[in-house]
Structure 1
């Protein structure tokens, strides 16, 4: 990565209407157990452009997408975005109810976003490839 990732504004994101409904319910039900992540997910959903599922391209991160992204240090990482019950970090399956999972939602290749880890540190990533599963 030749250019720094630092990005002031959050990028525009797209979420399909089916994921929007399911994720809104999931985040609302998780507010008591995981308030920071649930509130972050609700915030992302609130700013998302909601479109019919058939109108979302395969290049937009949705539940079930396999995403390759670049970190600040230039390392590439590939993960699959999943619901909490399917999460398994050893298999590269990242829950939507994690800070990085929430950050990835709705992004497309070339977009970058700053996200806050559970330890309070800010990180930035840039999406390079999105594949439908």
Structure 2
């Protein structure tokens, strides 16, 4: 697994989200919990221009298909696929959090397939 970085407030909020979602979405909630547990946690005011954070616009490649997608990573209540706003409580959303440009991660889809994505670009929303 590639090293990941998240801010202290995001670590707290994502950990709480994972805990509260275990009964409803156990597989992705466990994955999100593992990701937040293994992350290097930094101060909220840290400069992380190339790191996927909540609210980041992310361009990534599906390494199996070669498809490139651009999405904004959001909390579940903000998700809207028509606006390309994906929830961190989806398998790909949980996989993206904390990654840096150039990193690749494997994750399991809801159909239990292993997929890999590579981060191509990150833009922080202001």
Q: Secondary structure at the match of 1:101?
A: helix
* TM-score normalized with structure 2 length: 0.96
TM-score w.r.t. length of structure 1: 0.91
Query: Hey, what does 1:114 align to over in structure 2?
Result: 106
Q: Counterparts of 1:68 and 1:130 in 2: how far apart (Å)?
A: 6
Stretches of structure 1 lacking an aligned partner (at least 5 in a row): 1-9
The answer as to 2:110 corresponding to 1:96 is: no
Runs of 4+ in 1 over 6 A off after TM superposition: none
1:26-72 Cα offsets, whole Å, 9 max, x none, are: 11011111111110000001110000011141211010000000112
Is it true that 1:39 corresponds to 2:14 in the alignment? no
Aligned residue in 1 for 2:55? 64
Q: Is the CA contact (8 Å cut-off) linking 1:16 and 1:56 kept in structure 2?
A: no
Runs of 5+ unmatched residues, structure 2: none
Secondary structure at the counterpart of residue 100 of structure 1: helix
> How far apart, CA to CA, are the structure 2 residues paired with 1:38 and 1:70?
23
Q: CA RMSD in A?
A: 0.8
